[in-house]
Structure 1
Amino acid sequence: MTAAVATAAVLSLTPAVAVAGPVDESAPSTDAQLAFLTPEQYEARWGASAADEVAASMSSDAPEGAAAAGVVDSATATSGDGATDPELDPGGGQDAKWWTIIWDYKDLRGTTTPVRLGDNKLGYSHYAQRHNLTSSKPIKAAFQTHKPDKASGARLEYISWATDMSNGSVRLQVRVIVQAATRTDDGKYRTPDGKNVGVITAYCQGYNKCPAWVNKI
């Protein structure tokens, strides 16, 4: 569900802007209308002050920051095949390499961001296994913005909020770490297709592993 298809009645509600700590990993109640929104989309729906309040509650200075969540430091990453999701066959029956593209997205300014099969250090194989994030929806949603949440050289960070569209309450934040260059900073990963390395990792902030319901939205 997107903001464009929401009812006018919902627009008049004051969002219950609050994010509790890690919650039960069971699926949300059936009456929850959850969707992933960028802060930009959230602000357009519920206003700047509400978006600022959510952003403050989701501060990256929280204890479960990038390092604690297992974000790869491209300066020390090493290449390797790693384990892959047995249900994926991106190689079309042939051996798939880490650079095999599973999904390919652009943010609203045109920056291309592929999600590659990866290995145990980066890409889908890394974050799906380490952080239990297998759905493409929060990743795709994070790029529906005109600017990253953070930018430092080729390292970009995007976020999406799992939002109850009936009242604006935010269940959690998904953070997506991107290498917007054809190689990692140490040169140990270079793409053979001329496209950016893309998603290094993604995780639910505040969790070692995303709750199971995140992959069911």
Structure 2
Amino acid sequence: MRVATLQASACLAAGSVLAVASSAQGVGADPGGEPHRTVILSNEEFEHWYGPAASKGEDGAIMSQEQFDRAADRQRVAYSNALATEPTGQAQALRASDWSTVKFKAKDLNGKTIPTRVGNSALGWRHFSKTHNITNANVIKLITEGSHTPKADPGRPHRLVYDGVLSTTSGPLDGPPKVLARIRIIAQYHWQTEKADYVLKNKHDKIGVITAYCRNVAKNRCPDKVNK
């Protein structure tokens, strides 16, 4: 499959979108028809184009032809909601070492910069890339950069939750998009984790992404198509 990164529209004021053009027999494609495409975007982007009902996963979302055409042209499609899981911690406090090395960063639409650190088996890139099969940095970047207001976690003031989706889109006559995967990113916007298991030397820095995963699948492990 051919991977193309598209510029976000001015209307959405979002980041770039990862688009995957599949073959006629690819994911979500109709044999003999125009190939479907898959895109990753934040819930806010999805609701902007398809409304809250579609974001909640209701079948047969109703929209005007003009709305669908605009969304299809920009290949902005999506999903919503996911259920957070508790990140695995370690019993002892660890000083900043290789786990804290920043692998990449993403800035949400509210200006918060969220780093993804190399991490280990408990948090960060090494955790979610192995445990939850998210191995493409663009998955994290697209969802974070397309979100304006991450969800708060009651009782956890430094916890940020970003939701996103992998969805199909095709021509305007193919109807509403099909959600292929629901993705959630959990970030710690503080210089230490909740139990102080992990602490950064610079108190102006943020731990960043604790975990990322797919909902409603075995072991919250994402399908391979999320990374393509």
Alignment pair present for 1:215 and 2:214: no
Distance 2:91 2:112 in 1: 23
Q: Residues 33, 159 of structure 1: CA spacing in aligned structure 2 closer, same or farther, 3 A cutoff?
A: same
Give percent identity, aligned residues only: 29
Amino acid in structure 1 at the alignment position of 2:190: A
Q: Residues 109, 187 of structure 1: CA spacing in aligned structure 2 closer, same or farther, 3 A cutoff?
A: same
Q: TM-score, normalised by structure 1?
A: 0.69
Q: 1:148 aligns with which of 130, 133, 150?
A: 150
Amino acid in structure 2 at the alignment position of 1:212: D
SS at match of 2:200: coil
Distance 2:215 2:162 in 1: 12
Moved over 4 A (4+): 57-60, 76-81
Cross-structure match for 1:16? none
Query: What's the CA shift string for 1:40-66, capped at 9, x where partnerless?
Result: 101122223322445xx9654xxxx54
Cross-structure match for 2:116? 115
**Which segment drifts farther, 172-181 or 143-152?**
143-152
Distance 1:49 1:3 in 2: 23
SS at match of 2:127: helix
Alignment pair present for 1:201 and 2:216: no
RMSD over aligned CA atoms reads 2.8
Instruction: After TM superposition, give the deviation of residue 204 of structure 1 in Å.
Output: 1.0
Distance 1:50 1:107 in 2: 23
Cross-structure match for 1:159? 163
Larger RCO, structure (CA 8 Å, separation 6 or more): 1
**Which segment drifts farther, 116-125 or 164-173?**
164-173
Q: TM-score, normalised by structure 2?
A: 0.66
- Name the structure where strand makes up a greater proportion of residues: 2
Distance 1:100 1:172 in 2: 29
Cross-structure match for 2:9? 4
Contact 1:102 1:117 in 2 (8 A): yes
Runs of 5+ consecutive residues of structure 2 not aligned to the other structure: 1-5, 11-25, 30-34, 59-78, 171-175
SS at match of 1:145: coil
Amino acid in structure 1 at the alignment position of 2:148: H
Runs of 5+ consecutive residues of structure 1 not aligned to the other structure: 6-26, 82-95
